[in-house]
Structure 1
Amino acid sequence: MRIPTCADFPYPGDYRAVLAVESSLRTVAPRLGWRQAWIWAMACARLPGNGTFPPHRRDFTAVPPVLVVGGVHDDNTPPEWGRHLAAQLPRARYLAADGDHAVYVDGNTCVRAHVHRYLTTGLLPPENTFCA
């Protein structure tokens, strides 16, 4: 079985090449991103190179406003990533919450209230809303 992410980029199969990927990721994502070099190398290295899908820009102008929620202590998907995603989508809103990964599932009542309101009415929370 081929992992879908493996089709996004060809992954190197030798130690020195993965080490070079790690080094470059330490520059752009020093706290966390470098770990991904090894995670995906273990799953994807040496798979056939056919069918890769290089990244490309999409047109999101017709997409309705999007709510992006992130925990300020999330070390799996850091808040910077959520803010960056929201900044790329027109009319999107980033909702920060005191918590780590999966703040909705963890039961943060403030997050749940905003998410439920968004899903049932389409209303986004005010800018810079923070859920304690």
Structure 2
Amino acid sequence: MISTVGRVAAYVGLFVLGCAAGAVGAFAQSAYAPAGLILALGGAGALFAAGGMLTRAKAGAIAPVAGWLITVFYIAAAPRPEGDWVFTGGAGSYVFLLGGSVVGAMLAMQPWGGNASSLLLSGERLPSSGK
């Protein structure tokens, strides 16, 4: 069992890793198109899933998602000092923003801890209509 201090430290660490993944992904997705986009979204998704699996709690997946979202949308809203924008109006930028948000939402809502499992993948049958 992890102590409360250890759990909070893990969540803070996952939040910081989410911020780093968002910042690196924001620049990599356009610099190395299309492989950079795939790598940025895959890396972010892997971080979100790893946070949930390691802590066995939804908060473990939500912490890096929150860091990723805050960082990416801050970068999207603020121009660089030279006057340039990090995200251009291209499809890759929108796929990165929307795709990362959707992947984050999907992985944050998974039942990471306890005895919960997916109904259809656990071998159980759905309730029938009385037959």
> What interval of TM-score do these two structures reach, taking the shorter chain for normalisation?
under 0.3
More strand, by proportion: 1
What's the TM-score, normalizing by structure 1? 0.25
Higher relative contact order (CA 8 A, sep 6+): 2
What's the TM-score, normalizing by structure 2? 0.25
